[in-house]
């Protein structure tokens, strides 16, 4: 390899590493996780075998044989060495030896059965209280006992005398396994859940409204500041740029203060007989207006900057020409300025579609997807599913599957846009003639 090649590689390395660390690895991991059922309860490392109330419920849901489930749930009584040793300590050696002789290794379905069996023995305790106590020393259950591997689990079952019919073993171990497994269920679940469609619909709504607001308001600001005297214009621009440089949390807190039931809006409207209310969360419409405005004011400032510089790039003689041609301000905007903004508007739309698709920070801070899930967009839905759930059971696998859909759409859209832009830039005439 020539030295210049090495040098080139050297210069590229940081970029390659960054892409790898910030894009490729996360995407690959998301892809991997999305085909598992990882969650808080499975953990992300391997699991153990255990029958617990949850797995019992799942088995019932799955329609396993009721007799088997009953056996698993019930307490059993088994005469074993540990129990006998305890009997010897509490009730004397005689009873212990007699029990060992008569019943060693036997299993009794319930306590009554065992008590009746003990009553048959010569050295049995007299009081029924003592009888029960002695019987309890042999109580056994598979519930909530952890076994590290499958054979130990099956052993445990055998020891308790739980008998399995043909084909039940595999199913039972599957339900008893507490670790994660490979699955495609995330995607079939996704397609079946109404909340998925709600999130998709919300996302489309969110992007459409916010983008429209961003562009229209951005163009308005750019045009308005273009016609202002330059000092006033730059003050104006700075003010509109503030939301963008404000920390997100602070910015949203301002909005919350503005809309709280004891906040600015309520206070101002109270004298006019409007009942105070939480203006942000009062209704779904309120919540939507809020998040569109919160995002919109931030997004519009980017548009404003881009469009302003595009307007400034228009040769002033062209604007003069339109004036002497008789165009009013409005006509000038419509016929001269807006056509020149076509490319920046297109670029901004594309860029913001992509970023809105994956951004949920302002929504999360402002409405947290509520009221209900009326403002939960796809990205927030994925975030909540995987990383921030009230129930406490975080479904990493399902969340990853949701995120993977976003990644897919994002990559597809980027490729599409890139082609579109390349194609145009190769064929189109210069944007601004000068």
Partner 1 sequence: MRILIDNFTKTFGTTTVIRDMTLDIESGEMLALLGPSGCGKSTTLFAVCGIHRMNGGRLLFGDRDVTTVSSQDRNVGVVFQNYALYPHMNVFENISFPLKIRKESKADIDAKVREMAKLVHIEDLMERKPAQLSGGQQQRVALARALIRKPDVLLLDEPLANLDAKLRLEMRSEIRRIQQETGITAILVTHDQVEAMSMCDRIAIMNKGQIVQLSSPSEMYNEPASAFVAGFMGNPPISFLDGTVEGSSLRLDQSSIVLPLPESSRPASPASRVKLGVRPEYFQPENPDKVEGKISFIEIQGRETLYDVTLENGAVLRSIQSSGPLHKLGDTVRWGVDHSRVLAFDESGARL
Identified binder of partner 1 from the candidate list 34, 36, 295, 322, rule CB under 8 A: 322
Stretch that binds partner 1, among 95-103, 256-264, 333-341, 408-416 (CB under 8 A): 333-341
Strand ranges of the sheet holding 139-140, from the earlier edge strand across to the other edge: 107-108, 76-78, 139-140
CB of 226 to partner 1, least distance (A): 16
Phi/psi at 179 (nearest 5 deg)?
Answer: -85, 180
Indicate whether 328 belongs to the interface with partner 1 (CB under 8 A): yes
Indicate whether 317 belongs to the interface with partner 1 (CB under 8 A): yes
Binding to partner 1 (CB under 8 A) within 88-117 occurs at: none
| CB nearer to partner 1: pick between 191 and 330 | 330
Answer whether the bond into residue 277 is a cis peptide, omega within 30°. no
Identified binder of partner 1 from the candidate list 60, 325, 388, 412, rule CB under 8 A: 325
Spatial separation of the C-alpha atoms in residues 37 and 334, rounded to whole Å:
55
Indicate whether 359 belongs to the interface with partner 1 (CB under 8 A): no
CB of 318 to partner 1, least distance (A): 5
CA nearest neighbour of 91 among 51, 138, 42, 50: 138
| CB nearer to partner 1: pick between 216 and 318 | 318
Indicate whether 425 belongs to the interface with partner 1 (CB under 8 A): no
Spatial separation of the C-alpha atoms in residues 361 and 265, rounded to whole Å:
24
Indicate whether 346 belongs to the interface with partner 1 (CB under 8 A): no
Long-range contacts of 89-92 (CB under 8 A, 24+ apart): 90/133, 90/134, 90/137, 91/125, 91/130, 91/134, 92/123
**3 state DSSP class of 89:** helix
Identified binder of partner 1 from the candidate list 48, 246, 253, 318, rule CB under 8 A: 318
Handedness of CA 108, 109, 111, 115 (dihedral sign): negative
CB of 421 to partner 1, least distance (A): 18
Indicate whether 214 belongs to the interface with partner 1 (CB under 8 A): no
Stretch that binds partner 1, among 87-95, 257-265, 317-325, 395-403 (CB under 8 A): 317-325
Q: With CB under 8 A, what is the number of residues at the site for partner 1?
A: 24
Q: Which residue has the tokens 């302003």?
A: 308
CA nearest neighbour of 293 among 219, 367, 358: 367
Stretch that binds partner 1, among 111-119, 141-149, 235-243, 313-321 (CB under 8 A): 313-321
Identified binder of partner 1 from the candidate list 15, 191, 324, 426, rule CB under 8 A: 324
Identified binder of partner 1 from the candidate list 170, 275, 426, 429, rule CB under 8 A: 429
**3 state DSSP class of 14:** helix
CB-CB contact of 35 with 185 (8 Å): no
Contacting positions for partner 1 (CB under 8 A): 315, 317-318, 320-328, 331, 335-336, 339-340, 342, 429-434
């Amino acid at each position: 390899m020539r030295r210049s090649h090495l040098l080139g590689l050297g210069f590229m390395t940081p970029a390659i590493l960054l892409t790898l660390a910030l894009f490729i690895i996360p995407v690959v991991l998301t892809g991997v996780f999305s085909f598992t059922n990882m969650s808080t309860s499975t953990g992300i490392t391997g699991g153990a075998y255990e029958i617990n109330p949850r797995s019992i419920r799942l088995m019932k849901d799955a329609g396993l044989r009721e007799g088997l489930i009953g056996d698993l749930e019930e307490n059993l009584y088994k005469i074993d060495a540990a129990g006998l040793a305890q009997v010897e300590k509490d009730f004397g050696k005689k009873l212990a030896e007699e029990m060992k002789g008569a019943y060693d290794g036997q299993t009794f379905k319930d306590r009554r059965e065992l008590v009746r069996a003990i009553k048959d023995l010569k050295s049995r305790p007299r009081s029924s209280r003592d009888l029960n106590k002695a019987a309890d020393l042999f109580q056994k259950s598979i519930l909530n006992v952890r076994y590290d591997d499958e054979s130990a689990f099956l052993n445990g079952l055998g020891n308790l005398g739980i008998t399995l019919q043909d084909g039940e073993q595999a199913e039972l171990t599957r339900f008893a396994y507490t670790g994660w497994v490979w699955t495609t269920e995330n995607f079939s679940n996704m397609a079946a859940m109404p909340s998925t469609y709600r999130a998709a619909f919300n996302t489309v709504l969110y992007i459409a409204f916010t983008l429209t607001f961003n562009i229209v308001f951005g163009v308005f600001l750019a045009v308005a500041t273009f016609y202002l005297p330059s000092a006033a214009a730059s003050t104006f621009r700075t003010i509109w740029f503030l939301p963008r440089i404000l920390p997100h949390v602070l910015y949203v807190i301002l909005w919350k203060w503005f809309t709280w039931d004891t906040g600015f809006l309520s206070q101002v409207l109270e004298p006019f007989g409007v009942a105070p209310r939480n203006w942000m969360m009062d209704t779904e419409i309120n919540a939507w207006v809020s998040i569109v405005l919160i995002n919109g004011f931030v997004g519009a400032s980017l548009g404003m900057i881009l469009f302003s510089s595009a307007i400034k790039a228009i040769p002033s003689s062209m604007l003069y020409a339109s004036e002497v041609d008789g165009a009013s301000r409005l006509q000038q905007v419509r016929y001269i300025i807006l056509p020149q903004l076509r490319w920046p508007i297109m670029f901004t739309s594309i860029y913001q579609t992509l970023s809105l698709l994956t951004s949920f920070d302002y929504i999360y801070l402002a409405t947290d997807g509520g009221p209900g899930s009326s403002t939960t967009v796809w990205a927030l839905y994925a975030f909540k599913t995987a990383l921030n759930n009230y129930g406490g059971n975080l479904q990493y696998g399902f969340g990853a599957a949701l995120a993977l859909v976003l990644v897919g759409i994002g990559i597809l859209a980027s490729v599409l846009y890139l082609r579109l832009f390349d194609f145009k830039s190769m064929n189109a005439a210069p944007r601004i003639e000068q």
